[in-house]
Amino acid sequence: MESSTTRKRPLSPFLTVYRWQYTMALSILHRVTGCALSVGLLLFAYWLVAAASGHDAYQTARDFFAHPVVRILLIGFSFAFFYHLLNGARHMTWDTGQGLERKAARVSGWIVFLGAIVCTALFWLLIMRNAGGAA
């Protein structure tokens, strides 16, 4: 027996029916970076817990964070942070009803994406300079 709620009804159009546009990628990237940052919270907490556990535990954490694979992850997390922050500001501009026109939304999309790359690069340049390459 099929009721009106269990019958296969057409759903609202999903991603597959639309022509691909970079603004879609940027939109999904907000969610992806958000999820990544939720995972990154674990590393942030680990850093604090290690510091609170004493000198040896902190040194272990420093070695862990200095590992090349982890370093690449950290660069990824920092990009996710800057992207999510800038794109979040973009979203909140939209919430006020501003910048929703197609042209404005595309321009702000580029600003956010390139801005996140620039912020990530600057952040690591400054970190490396401060620590003399041994952050």
Q: Contact positions toward another protein, by CB under 8 A?
A: 31, 34-35, 37-38, 41-42, 44-45, 48-49, 51-55, 58-59, 62, 81, 85, 88-89, 91-92, 95, 123, 126-127, 130-131, 134-135
Comparing CB distances to another protein, the nearer of 21 and 38 is 38
Residue nearer to another protein on the CB measure, 81 or 108:
81
Which structure tokens are listed for 40? 């990154």
Q: How far is the CB of 66 from another protein (least distance, A)?
A: 10
Q: How far apart are CA 4 and CA 74, in angstroms?
A: 50
**Hey, what are 116's tokens?**
């996140």
Structure-block tokens of residue 64: 């862990």
Asked if 99 and 109 touch (Cβ cutoff 8 Å), the reply is no
State the nearest-atom distance from the C-beta of 135 to another protein, in Å. 6
**CA 93 to chain centroid:** 18
Indicate the residue among 3 and 103 with the shorter CB distance to another protein.
Answer: 3
The span from the CA of 83 to the CA of 102, in Å, is: 20
